[in-house]
Amino acid sequence: MWGERMFFLDIWGNLWIVFSLIYLIWLFAWAKRQLGSVTLSVLFAVIVVYLTFFQYPWLVWVPVVLFLFAFFFRGMFEKLPEGEKKPDYLRY
């Protein structure tokens, strides 16, 4: 009984590390595009992943929910009718 439980805890710990590394790589790539600096991107990604996965693990579900919302409801905003005239501050 205890051996099976420890086996699943080991698997869960390994999955947690894999998920954190995948999130770190994804966040680094996004930050590099947005910030333009590799150093700032690494710093930003490491801080966010550390806080998300190791200090506040319940925050892991926030990007999961956002991903699921974007995946399942991606066409929802395309169906909204566009306004006839946009305000001046929204035009480029």
What pLDDT sits at residue 45? Answer: 93
Element (H, E) at 29: helix 2-35
- Residue 55 CA to residue 3 CA, distance in Å, equals 28
| Average pLDDT rounded to a whole number, residues 12-22 | 86
In 36-85, which residue ranges form alpha helices assigned H by DSSP? 38-50, 61-72
Q: What is the pTM of this model?
A: 0.61
SS3 of 57, please? helix
Contact predicate 53/17, CB 8 Å:
no
Spatial CA neighbour of 25 closest among 40, 5, 42: 42
Q: pLDDT band at residue 32, thresholds of 50, 70 and 90?
A: very high
pLDDT at residue 55 is higher than 60? yes
